[in-house]
């Protein structure tokens, strides 16, 4: 009799390659985000300048995301993943120019280096639009549907483990080998991640048509999310909560001027929320949420807002660390529930487009949240801007909970 065991073994191996590659890729991204926040603040000493980092990336990423979803659904995914990976490598390698030669050999002042960094981040936004949805869109093709929730949890666990390691390691690397050395480490990790992506199987599109109307294809993705209220509610909740609750963007300011803990303390503080997320996702891998997931999602977002308010008011390093860690645990619950809803409610043929719209919400919340934090800090002051953001997050949870009953009653 024909046995499926060899096929299942190959699929498990391929899933491991995908997760390992993603680990090192996310590790490099988080180190880069830590580096950019610290570097820009040291060049400008202006919280608003940190916000411009997010704006520089989100404009190209969001404007390209719908088209990226169409391309992902109608392309061979392994090839596209590698192209985007190496494009990122090339762009980040360019940051070595100002890092090594900016002030001395090229005689660039801080303002010119800052503009150069913004330009590089702008072009990485186009790569981000494709890279964000590709890996999640490959997971359902590799693992069986009955194990998909566990695979999604493991995927999020991989992401958060890499994230916490990258944030902390980024701070330590800046302290040990300075900005220039950290840039080289980031580039090396991106190249290393591609080694595992080369080991993946080719994943061709589910439906191959002779002629594809791009605009109609993109509209299908938007229309599907709009009519699936559970997905729409979860994405809106996450977008607005993180948009207003983006206290992490101001951590370089807190570490330098309020808590006065330097680059080492900055790295740990920057990793605190991811440590919390990693712990809760490890817990959820063994004790999954089995009922009332919609209500749990709403309470988690409200609790996240309270933690951000507490962090904004704190003047003690370890209290700030603990509040960020708790906020990460609540955010981790939100991420698992939202990710599972999106994957289980989306059919294969449209998954790339739905995940691209999902990436618009994520990028809008994270990168625009960074920009919003910079603007609010400029207008209100750093502390009041963080407290305002946490308060708005509480309000968002209340509004979504009362206006989207399908999400509130959601179970899977």
Q: Over the stretch 283-324, which tens digit does the pLDDT of each residue have?
A: 887 787 778 888 899 999 999 999 999 999 999 999 999 999
In angstroms, rounded to a whole number, what is the distance separating the alpha carbons of residues 23 and 236? 27
In angstroms, rounded to a whole number, what is the distance separating the alpha carbons of residues 309 and 118? 30
Which pTM was predicted?
0.74
pLDDT for position 366: 66
In angstroms, rounded to a whole number, what is the distance separating the alpha carbons of residues 72 and 140? 14
- Local structure of residue 145 (DSSP, 8 states): G
- Residues 120-142 have a mean pLDDT of 89
Listed in sequence order, the residues at least 6 apart from 276 whose beta carbon sits closer than 8 Å to its beta carbon are: 324, 325, 326, 327, 328, 329, 330, 331, 332
Longest dimension (CA), the chain: 73
Listed in sequence order, the residues at least 6 apart from 19 whose beta carbon sits closer than 8 Å to its beta carbon are: 154, 155, 158
pLDDT of residue 70 exceeding 90, the answer is no
Relative orientation angle of helices 110-142 and 317-344, to the nearest 10 degrees: 40
Least confident of 132-146, 171-185, 198-212: 198-212
pLDDT for position 213: 64
In angstroms, rounded to a whole number, what is the distance separating the alpha carbons of residues 32 and 38? 10
- Give the count of beta carbons closer than 10 Å to the beta carbon of residue 105: 9
Listed in sequence order, the residues at least 6 apart from 387 whose beta carbon sits closer than 8 Å to its beta carbon are: 308, 309, 312, 313
pLDDT of residue 105 exceeding 90, the answer is no
In angstroms, rounded to a whole number, what is the distance separating the alpha carbons of residues 116 and 59? 17
- Residues 67-81 have a mean pLDDT of 89
In angstroms, rounded to a whole number, what is the distance separating the alpha carbons of residues 216 and 74? 13
pLDDT of residue 15 exceeding 50, the answer is yes
Q: What are the distances in angstroms from CA 77 to CA 98, 141, 144? A: 34, 11, 18
In angstroms, rounded to a whole number, what is the distance separating the alpha carbons of residues 132 and 115? 25
How sure is the predictor about 10, in pLDDT bands with cuts at 50, 70 and 90? low
In angstroms, rounded to a whole number, what is the distance separating the alpha carbons of residues 175 and 267? 9
pLDDT for position 6: 45
Q: Over the stretch 185-233, which tens digit does the pLDDT of each residue have?
A: 999 999 999 999 999 999 888 655 545 566 776 677 788 888 887 888 8
Average of per-residue pLDDT values in the chain: 84
In angstroms, rounded to a whole number, what is the distance separating the alpha carbons of residues 249 and 241? 14
In angstroms, rounded to a whole number, what is the distance separating the alpha carbons of residues 52 and 378? 12
Q: What are the distances in angstroms from CA 264 to CA 112, 167, 268? A: 27, 11, 7
H/E element holding 223? Answer: helix 214-227
- Local structure of residue 255 (DSSP, 8 states): I
């Amino acid at each position: 009799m024909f046995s499926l065991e060899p096929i299942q073994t190959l699929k498990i191996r391929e899933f491991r390659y995908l997760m390992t590659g993603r680990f090192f890729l996310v590790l490099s991204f988080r180190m880069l985000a830590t580096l950019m926040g610290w570097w820009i603040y040291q060049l400008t000493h202006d919280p608003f300048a940190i916000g411009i980092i997010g704006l520089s990336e989100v404009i190209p990423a969001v404007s390209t995301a719908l088209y990226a979803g169409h391309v992902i659904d109608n392309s061979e995914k392994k090839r596209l993943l590698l192209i985007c990976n190496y494009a990122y490598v090339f762009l980040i390698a360019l940051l070595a120019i100002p890092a090594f030669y900016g002030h001395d050999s090229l005689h660039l002042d801080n303002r010119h280096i800052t503009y150069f960094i913004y330009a590089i981040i702008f072009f990485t936004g186009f790569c981000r639009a494709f890279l964000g949805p590709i890996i999640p869109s490959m997971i359902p093709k590799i693992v069986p549907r009955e194990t998909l929730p566990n695979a999604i949890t493991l995927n999020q666990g991989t992401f958060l483990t890499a994230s916490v390691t990258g944030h902390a390691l980024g701070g330590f690397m800046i302290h040990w080998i300075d900005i220039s050395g950290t840039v080289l480490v980031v580039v090396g990790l991106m190249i290393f991640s591609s080694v595992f992506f080369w080991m993946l199987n080719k994943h061709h599109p589910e439906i191959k048509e002779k002629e594809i109307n791009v605009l109609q294809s993109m509209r299908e993705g938007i229309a599907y999310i709009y009519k699936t209220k559970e997905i729409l509610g979860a994405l809106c909740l996450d977008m607005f909560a993180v948009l207003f609750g983006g206290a992490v963007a101001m951590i370089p300011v807190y570490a330098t001027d309020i808590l006065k803990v330097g680059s080492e303390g900055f790295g740990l503080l920057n990793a605190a929320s991811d440590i919390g997320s990693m712990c809760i996702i490890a817990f959820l891998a063994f004790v999954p949420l089995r009922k009332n997931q919609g209500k749990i999602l709403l309470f988690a977002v409200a609790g996240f807002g309270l933690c951000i308010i507490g962090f904004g008011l704190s003047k003690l390093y370890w209290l700030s660390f603990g509040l960020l860690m708790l906020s990460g645990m609540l955010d981790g619950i939100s991420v698992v529930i939202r990710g599972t809803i999106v994957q289980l409610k989306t059919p294969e043929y449209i998954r790339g487009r739905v995940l691209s719209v999902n990436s618009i919400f994520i990028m809008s919340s994270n990168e625009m949240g960074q920009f919003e934090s910079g603007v609010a800090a400029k207008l209100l002051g750093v502390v009041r801007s963080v407290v305002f953001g946490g308060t708005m997050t509480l309000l968002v949870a209340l509004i979504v909970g009362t206006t989207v009953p399908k999400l509130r009653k959601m179970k899977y």
